[in-house]
Structure 1
Amino acid sequence: MSANVRDTVTPDGRRFERMLRELGSLQVRVGFQQGGATEDDGTDICDIAMWNELGTEHAPARPFLRMSVDENEDKIKNFLKSKKADIVGGASAEQVLKEIGIFQKDLIQEKITNGSFVPNSAYTIAKKGSSKPLIDTGRMRQSVNYVIKEKGSGD
């Protein structure tokens, strides 16, 4: 190859490079955001989700967040492969991250609704009138969300 030959990046190539830089600077956070929702008594839904996920002195762990990932590994991998194709096809970084957020949000909500967890105690069933673990008012399930943030934003 001659030393005088110089390749130039096409407009599509420059657009793709910008999109990759943008994608590299952002992250999607899926789950519960502190202060995003509360129960009627003022208890933050983020705290309720943590107590359910990890368990407390009086309640067993019902790890719906971890299970939503662990039990859907192949589904998640296939979905992310399709997003890779979308990126190559010209989708914006923000659009791809939104789709990832919605996808994982749906997996978490499905696990809350249909997961196999330690049953509620007789006391809890009598108190809330239901034997369904993780579902009382439905507010926790409805509060699952995602946010797109700059990487390293710390909040």
Structure 2
Amino acid sequence: MKIRTEVRGGNKVAQALRRIQSRVMARRRVLVGIPSGAGVYEDGVPIAVIAAVQEFGSADGRIPERSFLRVPLRRNQDNIKKAFRVLSARVVRDEITAFQMLDQIGARAAGYCKEAIETGIPPANAPSTIKRKGSATPLIDRGILKEAITHIVED
């Protein structure tokens, strides 16, 4: 048995495939965290510096590691992958752009990080910190760090 095929509108099909490929394969990425230009605290220390110390702990060991970025993103990686699958299908169907897809994924990822801070990140605050802050919840004083968490879509 011999199968015969016929393609009509070859140029239009090829153009459509190129458009889909360019939307899906665009060299973009989404970054989640606290950008270097996020601002400074009242004492002049950049928010990004405090964020790094909290995320990784201080070199002298006095401030413990409290990962508000890496751990929540790892915990939610299945949710992020699922969103990517759903949204990338919408890109292919030309319902949204690749930029919009990454923007939505970045917003969700930043939300996971903020949520982690709200629910509390171990280890618990030291008694002296609780007394000074008036709160036992780590990483929350006035919410400056949490509100600085954002996402950026890079081309």
1:47-74 C-alpha deviation (Å, 9 max, x unpaired): 1111111111311111121111221122
Q: For the residues of structure 2 that align with 1:139 and 1:119, how far apart are their CA atoms?
A: 19
Q: Give the TM-score normalised by the residue count of structure 2.
A: 0.84
Question: Residue 147 of structure 1: which of 140, 152, 155 is its match?
Answer: 152
Tell me how large the CA RMSD over aligned residues is: 2.1
Contact 1:26–1:149 under 8 Å retained in 2: yes
1:72 to 67, 70, 76: 76
Cα deviation 1:5-26 (Å, max 9, x = unaligned)? 99324353343233234x2x21
Structure 1 gap segments, 5+ residues each: 151-155
TM-score (ref. length: structure 1)? 0.84
Other-structure match for 2:32: 30
Cross-structure match for 1:87: 91
Query: How far apart in 2 are the matches of 1:77 and 1:20?
Result: 15
Give 4+ residue runs of structure 1 displaced > 2 Å after superposition: 5-15
Q: Distance in 1 between matches of 2:86 and 2:140?
A: 32
Q: Give the aligned partner of residue 101 of structure 2.
A: 96
Q: How far 1:108 sits from its partner (Å)?
A: 0.7
Alignment-derived partner of residue 153 in structure 1:
none
| Distance in 1 separating the partners of 2:45 and 2:18 | 48
Counterpart residue number, 1:127: 132
Residue of structure 2 equivalent to 1:112: 117
Aligned pair 1:19/2:19, yes or no?
Answer: no
Cα distance between partner residues in 1 of 2:66 and 2:87: 30
Structure 2: which 5+ runs fail to align? Answer: none
CA contact (8 A) 1:31 1:146 kept: yes
Matched residues, number? 146
